[in-house]
Amino acid sequence: MRMHWIVIAVTCLALTSLASADFTAYNDFVTDYTTAANVTQWGYSASGPQALKDQATGATVTPTMTMTYYHMSNNTTGPAGEIAAGTDAATIFGGLVSTKNKVDAYNSGYIGDWYATLGFKDLNPAKTYNLAAVIDRGKVDYANNRWTLISVEDADGSTYASSSGAYQVSPTAVSIDSYNTVNGYVAMWTGIQSGADGAFTLRFAPAIDAELPEEYRATNQDGRGYAPAGIMLQEVPEPASMALLAMGGLALLRRRKK
């Protein structure tokens, strides 16, 4: 049976309300269906550091995002709808980032030899950051056989907070199945500390068998995978232990099989 619960972040019982994030920024990597205001639409063809916006105000924020990818193809098409309502992805990204129809994918000539990275720079070392990402190939034929490893790199610290149905590889890495339309799992970390250099990286790469649930290792199409449909970056006021506050105090719906 399934157990459902809601995790709400508070710093202590004495608080009467959740503090607001300093900013919450979203980027949609494939823009055909994006209609929300103040959501940037940088794709992997963009060169160099790109500006992000506070979705609530439209103000440009200080941190930037640089996208790089290697041996990937742009805009793979497929029969896809939006991720199912009530999932983690819908809760965080619904109405702001579209997962419909197109996604950046591995290049079939370089199966297993590809990656995509998001480099976040000019972060405030005195603040912490929450980061969520969603992928979805949207084709049921690929269910449970094309897994992407998503990892946080070069951060001084972070707290793993990905969807409980996703496969945790380590405190800084998670594997998610490319057919994510029904599950709507997200890769997420809270309390990310950039360190003195004000930078960290989110990396997408093919998941190897040891990074998958055991029941899918024999049938996985090794080396295939996908870049994100969208990301959310949130700057959080101290204390650093404060968890996800997207859209001014978001309660994240979690799922777990029992």
Angle among Cα 249, 32, 150 to the nearest 5 degrees reads: 55
Distance from the Cα of residue 89 to its chain's centroid: 9
What per-residue confidence (pLDDT) applies to 20? Answer: 61
The tens-digit pLDDT sequence of the chain (258 residues) is: 333 332 333 222 222 223 468 999 999 987 666 678 999 999 877 889 999 999 999 999 999 999 998 998 866 666 567 889 999 999 999 989 988 767 778 888 889 999 999 999 999 999 999 999 999 988 888 899 999 999 999 999 999 999 999 999 999 999 999 999 999 999 999 999 999 999 999 999 999 999 999 999 999 999 999 889 999 999 998 653 444 544 334 444 333 333
- Rounded CA separation 67/48 (Å): 7
Q: Are 177 and 146 in contact (CB under 8 A)?
A: yes
Cα-flanking dihedrals φ and ψ of residue 62, to 5°?
Answer: -70, -45
**Matching residue, tokens 């419909």:** 100
- Rounded CA separation 26/200 (Å): 17
Q: pTM score, two decimals?
A: 0.84
Q: Is-cis flag, bond preceding 239, omega within 30? A: yes
**Taking Cα atoms as reference points, which of 121, 156, 240 lies closest to residue 190?**
240
Cα-flanking dihedrals φ and ψ of residue 88, to 5°?
Answer: -60, -45
DSSP string of the chain? -EEEEEE---S-TT-SSPPPPSEEEEEESS-TT---TT-B---TT--S-EEEE-TTT-PEEEEEEEEEEESEEEEEE----PPPTTSHHHHHHTTTS--SSEEEEE-GGGTT--EEEEEEES--TTSEEEEEEE-----GGGTTT-EEEEEEES-SEEEE---TTSEEEETTEEEEES--TTT---EEEEEEE-TTTT-EEEEEEEPPGGGS-GGGTTT--TT--B--SEEEEEEEPSPTT----TTTSPPEEEEEE-
